[in-house]
């Protein structure tokens, strides 16, 4: 398994990072099988594992903790905080109060006394970035966290966080974790170049576009949603709704990708993952298998590289910087979702 440095942290990580969202009740409920999956990844040379407190309500972190007993020191372990962990509105977000409490919960569930990377899972408009960076910096100085990162931050939010850290004497974000695939290339416009400009490590997620780029979902073979299981079909149906033009376009492009992959002697999934790793800003790509068989299939493509001729053909299919289905975005800024944030109040209109 190839290795690279995680940005400017000096931490050496495998080019594949094991994503664990499917371990536990959201995907594979068999804990023993999940532990076997983690061990299979480690034995294959993967030394980078990404999880989050909210995955299966904390169950996933507990599974990862079981799997790493006796092997913790050889693993670069990353987790995330932000999403609600209960009905109490204070049990979530990016506040000092919540992060200080939840990092202890994650450490307990993971069975460790330190985290190699602690990430803010999403931006939180209700919390000043100064407060978030302040408590994260305290955790770094205390030795509970080695490095800190962001996830799904826009380029301007990355810049704001960097400037705030410099002006307030905080530890800056060392990494960014954006979604990136052949079908979701929007981050190429500014997020990836900005992260690169600041020397941040980039660990991208969803290289297979939530299953679209496995080659399983084809024209004339149904929409494939039934194969996804209840989690994906219930939680993110907008990514598969064929009435949306972007999703209809995905089906057409998959057919062309199947042909291109065959010419290259590759499965579509290997082509898709290799594409992501080609970008110079990307340190590691997160793969999220549910079974050992899925993991083994992806690991077989770990050494695949693509030449310029193939990359040019991929650019012709999906233009650089393009998201085929804008609805695929997993974070919507409040000023997009709340009309009152982009309109003058009635009494000021026409003034």
User: What CA–CA distance (Å, rounded) separates 14 from 1?
Assistant: 6
User: Measured between alpha carbons, how far is 277 from 289 in angstroms, rounded to an integer?
Assistant: 18
- For residues 21 and 55, is the Cβ–Cβ distance under 8 A? yes
pLDDT level of residue 260 (50, 70, 90 thresholds)? very high
Catalytic residue among 55, 118, 180, 238: 55
Average pLDDT of the residues in 35-42: 98
Whether pLDDT at 330 is above 80: no
On the question of pLDDT at 19 being above 90, the answer is yes
Q: How far apart are CA 351 and CA 345, in angstroms?
A: 11
Nearest alpha carbon to residue 206 among 152, 133, 141? 152
Across the range 244-250, mean pLDDT stands at 82
pLDDT at 156: 97
Going by pLDDT thresholds of 50, 70 and 90, the confidence category of residue 337 is confident
Identify the band that residue 341 occupies on the pLDDT scale cut at 50, 70 and 90: confident
**216 in Cβ contact with 227 (< 8 Å):** yes
Tens-place pLDDT, residues 49-87: 999 999 999 999 999 999 999 999 999 999 999 999 999
Q: What is the pLDDT of residues 194-205, one digit of tens each?
A: 999 999 999 999
**Contact (CB, 8 A) for 180 and 276:** yes
Contact 6, 200 (CB under 8 A): no
**pLDDT for position 331:** 80
Dump pLDDT digits (tens) for 276-310.
Answer: 999 999 999 999 999 999 999 999 999 999 999 99
pLDDT (average), residues 150-165: 98
Three-class HEC string of 265-277: CCCHHHHHHHHHH
User: Would you list the DSSP string of 147-213?
Assistant: -EEEES--HHHHHHHHHHHHHHTPPPP-EEE-B-BTTB-GGGTTHHHHHHHTT-EEEEB-TTGGGGG
| CA 291 from centroid of its chain's CA atoms | 19
Query: pLDDT-derived band of residue 226, with 50, 70 and 90 as boundaries?
Result: very low
Angle between helices 245-264 and 268-278 (to 10 degrees): 100
> What is residue 281's DSSP assignment?
T
Q: Six-digit token pair at 92? A: 């979530």
Q: What is the pLDDT of residues 135-157, one digit of tens each?
A: 999 999 999 999 999 999 999 99
Looking at the chain, the whole-number percentage of residues with pLDDT higher than 70 is: 94
Q: Which two tokens stand for residue 88?
A: 């109490």
Asked if the model's pLDDT at residue 248 lies above 90, the reply is no
| pLDDT-based confidence at residue 221 (cuts at 50, 70, 90) | low
pLDDT band at 235 (very low <50, low <70, confident <90, very high): low
The answer to whether residues 37 and 22 touch, using CB atoms and an 8 Å cutoff, is no
Q: Are 102 and 110 contacting, i.e. CB atoms less than 8 angstroms apart?
A: no
State residue 222's pLDDT score.
52
Query: Which position has the token pair 């068989």?
Result: 293
Q: Give the closest residue to 9 by CA, choosing from 299, 285, 284, 303.
A: 284
Is 238 designated active site?
no
Least confident of 32-36, 211-215, 308-312: 211-215
pLDDT for 224 equals 52
């Amino acid at each position: 398994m190839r290795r690279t440095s995680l940005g400017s942290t000096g931490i050496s990580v495998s080019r594949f990072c094991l994503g664990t969202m499917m371990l536990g009740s959201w995907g594979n409920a068999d804990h023993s099988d999940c532990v076997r999956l983690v061990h299979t990844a480690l034995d294959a040379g993967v030394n980078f594992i990404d999880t989050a407190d909210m995955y299966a309500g904390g169950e996933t972190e507990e599974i990862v903790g079981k799997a790493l007993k006796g092997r913790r020191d050889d693993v670069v372990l990353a987790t995330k905080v932000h999403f609600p962990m209960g009905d109490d509105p204070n049990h979530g977000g990016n506040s000092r109060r919540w992060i200080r409490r939840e990092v202890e919960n994650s450490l307990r569930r993971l069975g460790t006394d330190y985290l190699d990377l602690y990430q803010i899972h999403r931006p939180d408009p209700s919390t000043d970035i100064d407060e978030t960076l302040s408590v994260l910096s305290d955790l770094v100085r205390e030795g509970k966290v080695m490095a800190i990162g962001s996830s799904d931050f826009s380029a301007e939010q990355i810049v704001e966080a960097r400037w705030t850290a410099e002006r307030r004497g905080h530890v800056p974000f060392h990494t960014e974790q954006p979604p990136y695939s052949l079908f979701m290339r929007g981050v190429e416009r500014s997020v990836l170049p900005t992260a690169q400009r600041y020397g941040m490590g980039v660990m991208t997620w969803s290289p297979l576009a939530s299953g679209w780029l496995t080659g399983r979902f084809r024209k004339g073979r149904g929409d494939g949603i039934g194969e996804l299981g209840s989690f994906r079909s219930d939680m993110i149906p907008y990514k598969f709704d064929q009435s949306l033009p972007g999703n209809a376009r995905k089906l057409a492009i998959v057919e062309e990708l199947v042909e291109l992959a065959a010419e290259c002697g590759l499965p579509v999934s290997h082509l898709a993952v290799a594409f992501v790793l080609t970008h110079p800003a990307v340190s590691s790509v997160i793969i999220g298998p549910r079974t050992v068989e899925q993991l083994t299939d992806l690991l077989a493509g770990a050494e695949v590289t693509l030449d310029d001729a193939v990359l040019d053909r991929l650019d012709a299919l999906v233009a650089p910087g393009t998201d085929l289905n804008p609805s695929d975005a997993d974070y919507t800024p409040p000023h997009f979702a709340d009309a009152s944030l982009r309109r003058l109040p009635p009494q000021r209109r026409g003034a």
